Chains A and B, each alone.
Chain A
Amino acid sequence: MWRDVWLISNNGLRRSVRDRSILIQGLLAPVVMALVVGAAFGAGFSLDVTVGVADEDGSQTSGQITQGLTGSGGGGIAFSTVSDPQDVDAAVDAGIYDAVVVLPAGLEAAVQSGSPAALEVVGSATDPLATSVAESVAAGVAANLQTARVTAAAGTTASVPDVGIAVQKALSEPPPIAVEQGQVEGTFSVMAYFAPGIAMLFLFFIIGNGARSIIAERADGTLPRILAAPVQPASVLIGKTLGVMIVGVSSMTAVWLITWLLFGASWGDPLGVFLVIVAAVTAIAGISLLITGLARTENQADALTTIIALLFAVAGGTFFYGVSGALASIRPFTPNGLALSAFVDLSAAQADVAEVLPQILLLLGLGIGTALIGLAALRNKVLA
C-alpha cells in the first residue's frame, strides 16, 4: 500500500514541479508581496510597546521586580508602573499600556512557601504582539522566581538553617530583568509577519488545486485507470494528500528561507518555524479536502476555496497586523490567525517550540479533523 501511496504522491509532485503557476503562487508571489508590504512599512519597524507593571502585592519582592523592570527597557519596549493596579483592564482598554504584567497579591508569600507564583498578563486582542512581549516578561520573572526557590531548596539540603534567608538571598540577587532584556529584545520584522501570512493565502490556492485534482483526474480518466490497477482506493487518497502536503510545506519553507537568507527576516526558532509551517499546511490541506469533498463540482470547490481563503486571510490578519472588533474575535479561530500568532511569537517574542505548541496542536487538530471528513466525502463521491 505505502509503495502505491509514494508512487501516487511522487507523480503529483513531478507534475507540480513542472507547473510554473505553482512556482509563481507558492514562491514568487508571497516573497514579492511581502517585499512590497515591507517597503510600505519600511525595512522593518522597531517595536513600540509599553508594558505596564501592576504591583498588587506591595511586598519587597514585588517591589524589587517592579523596580527592576521599570528601570530597564529599550529596543522599543518601555516599562511603566501602573498607578492604579485595581483598574488594569481599563488602562489597557484606554491604550495607556499595550499590555500589563500583574504581580498578584500574595506573590512574596507564595515564593517563600514554595507555592506556584501565578503572574497574570492583561493584553488586548487587537495587539497580540504586545501581549506576547508581556507574556515573555512574565515568563522570565517566573523563571527567576523559580531559580530563587531552587536556591532555597539547595540551601536547605546543604543544611542552611533558614529557608527564608535563602529566599531573601536569591531575591536580593540582581533582579530578573536582566533575563527579560535578553528575551524581549529584537525587532518585529514586517517581512517575517507578512511573508508567512501571504504564503498561507496562496497555499489555499495551491493546495486547493491539488485537492481538486482528485475530481479532475476522475473526469480525465486517469483516476479510473489508476483504480483499474491493483491499487487500494485509500492509497489514492493518501497519496494525493501527501503530495499536496509536500508541495505546501516545500513552498512555505522556501518562502521562509528566501526571506531569511536573502532579506534577513528572522522568523525565529527554526524548529518552531518548521513545525508551525507543517501544522499550517496540514490545516489548509484539511480544509481544502473538506471543501473538495463537500462541493458538488470542481468549479464549485474552486469558488468556495477562493471565498474561504480570502475570508480566513482577512480575519486571520494576513493583510493587516492590528485587527479589531468582530475580526479580532474571529482571528484565533482561523488557521491563518493561529499560525500568524505562532509566527509572531517565534519571531518578535523569540518564543521556543514549547510556547507555540498550543497553536501547533490546534492547527494539526483542525487539519486532521477536516481532512478526515473531507476524505470520507471524497471516497464516497469519487471512488465509489
Chain B
Amino acid sequence: MDPSVLQVENLVKRFGENTAVDKVSFSIEAGQTYGLLGPNGAGKTTTISIIAGLLSADAGDVALLGEAVTPARKTLIGLVPQDIALYPDLSAKENLRFFGRLQNLTGAELRSRMDQVLEVVGLRDRADDHIDTYSGGMKRRANIAVGLLHEPRLLILDEPTVGVDPQSRNSILEAVDALGGSGMAVLYTTHYMEEAERLCDRIGIIDQGRLIAEGTRDELVNRLGEQTTVSFRVNAGHQTIQSWRDELSGLSQVTAVKDIDSGLAVVAARGAALIAPAVQSAQACGIDVVGIEVNQPDLEAVFLDLTGKALRD
C-alpha cells in the first residue's frame, strides 16, 4: 500500500506559554483535498508552516510520502501563503521564473510549466504585467500559480480567498476543485465553512491548536444527530437580547446559542419543536420576533456545537 502523501502525527508547537498546535494528527491521500477549518488564530497557519518546513515542531512527526521533510524534499510541496507572496514590481512571468528556478525548473520545462499554470489561473493575457497593476483577485490567482508551478505532490493553500471579490473567489475555488482530479493532494485552510463543504473530501476542525473533530462533511454533520439551527430575527436592544439569550440557553434540548445579525441562532435537537417555547420566551422578555429560519445541520453548526462559538468569532 502506498504511503499517504502527507502524514501528520501528534504535532506540537509552543510559543512561550502559548501552545499554538497541540497534538494535531491527520493524513492526506493522493487526489484528496483536506480542509483545515477553524477561526483566525486556531493554529492553521502554524500547522502548515511546520509541514512546509518553515517552522520546527516541538514534538510530533511530519512525513511526506512516508519520509521526513528534508530541504531537498521541499520540492514535493507547493505553498500558497495567505499573503500575496509575490514581488509587486515584477510581472507574473518574472515571479514565476524566479520561484520556478528556485524549485530547480529550467529551460523549456520551466517555460512550458509557466504557460500551463498561467492558463489554469486565467492570467495568460496579463502575464507580462507587473503584479502591482493586478486586482486583488488576480493577485490571489497569481499567488496560486507559483505554488502549482513545479507540480508538487502536496499543495498547501492557506486561506487563498481572503479579501477577494465573489467572482474571483469562485474562479479560485473552481481552480482548486480541479486539482483533486490531477492526483495532487491538497491541504486547504479556511475559516469559510462554505469553502470547506464545497471543496474538501475530508475536513479537520481545529480550534485553539487542537484538532477537535475530523471526517467527511457528512460524518461531521451526522455528529449532531437530529440537531438543527433555528435563527430568530427580533426587534430589541442588545441588553434585552442578552437577557433572552440566557433564557434560551436554559431550555431543554438547546446545545448552543450564538449571536447573529438582529437576533440569535439556537442549535437544538428537533429544532422545529423549539420554536414555540422560544417565541414565548421572547415575548416574556418583551421582544418581538420578526423572522424565523430553520437550517439543516452544517459545519457551522458542528463548530458551534463543538466549541460553543461561531467560526468567525
Interface residues of A, Cβ cutoff 8 Å to B: 4, 7, 11, 14-15, 18-19, 220-222, 224-232
Contact = CB atoms under 8 A, between A and B. Distances in A.
Given A221-B85, A225-B146, A230 B104 contact: yes
Nearest to B88: A220
- A-B pairs, top 6 by smallest CB distance, nearest first, are A221-B85, A221-B83, A229-B102, A225-B85, A228-B79, A230-B74
Contacts of A226: 99, 102
A230 to B, nearest CB: 5
Interface in B56-94: 71-75, 77, 79, 81-87, 89-90, 94
Contacts of A228: 52-54, 74, 77, 79
Contact of A221 (B71, B81, B89, B103): B81
Given A19-B89, A220-B83, A221-B81, A232 B71 contact: yes
A225 B75 contact: no
A15 B99 contact: no
A15 B90 contact: yes
A4 B72 CA distance: 13
A7 B101 contact: yes
B20 to A, nearest CB: 15
Contacts of B103: 229-230
Nearest to A18: B89
A221 B82 CA distance: 8
Q: Is the interface of A mostly helix, strand, loop or mixed?
A: helix
A124 to B, nearest CB: 50
Contact of B90 (A14, A227, A229): A14
13 contacts: A4-B102, A7-B98, A7-B101, A14-B94, A19-B89, A220-B83, A220-B84, A221-B82, A222-B86, A224-B79, A224-B81, A225-B85, A230-B103
Interface of B: 49, 52-54, 71-75, 77, 79, 81-87, 89-90, 94, 98-99, 101-104, 146
A230 B98 contact: no
B156 to A, nearest CB: 9
Interface centre among B52, B77, B84, B85 (most CB of A within 10 A): B85
Interface centre among A15, A224, A230 (most CB of B within 10 A): A230
Given A14-B94, A230-B103, A232-B71, A225 B79 contact: yes
Contacts of A220: 83-85
Contacts of B99: 225-226, 229
A227 B79 CA distance: 10
A11 to B, nearest CB: 5
Interface centre among B54, B72, B73, B102 (most CB of A within 10 A): B102
Contacts of B104: 230
A217 to B, nearest CB: 9
Contacts of B87: 11, 15, 222
Contacts of A227: 53-54
Nearest to A225: B85
A325 to B, nearest CB: 46
A15 B98 CA distance: 12
B79 A230 contact: no
Nearest to A15: B89
Contacts of B77: 228
B86 to A, nearest CB: 7
B242 to A, nearest CB: 40
A231 B100 CA distance: 12
Nearest to B70: A230
Given A225-B81, A231-B71, 13 more contacts: A7-B101, A15-B89, A15-B90, A18-B89, A222-B85, A224-B49, A224-B54, A224-B85, A226-B102, A228-B74, A229-B102, A230-B73, A230-B74
Interface centre among A15, A222, A224, A231 (most CB of B within 10 A): A222
Contacts of A225: 79, 81, 85, 99, 146
A221 B54 contact: no
Nearest to B84: A221
Interface centre among A15, A18, A221 (most CB of B within 10 A): A221
A19 B89 CA distance: 9
B83 A230 contact: no
Contacts of B75: 229-230
A7 B102 contact: yes
Contacts of B90: 14-15
Nearest to B72: A230
A287 B103 CA distance: 32
A231 B84 contact: no
Contacts of A4: 102
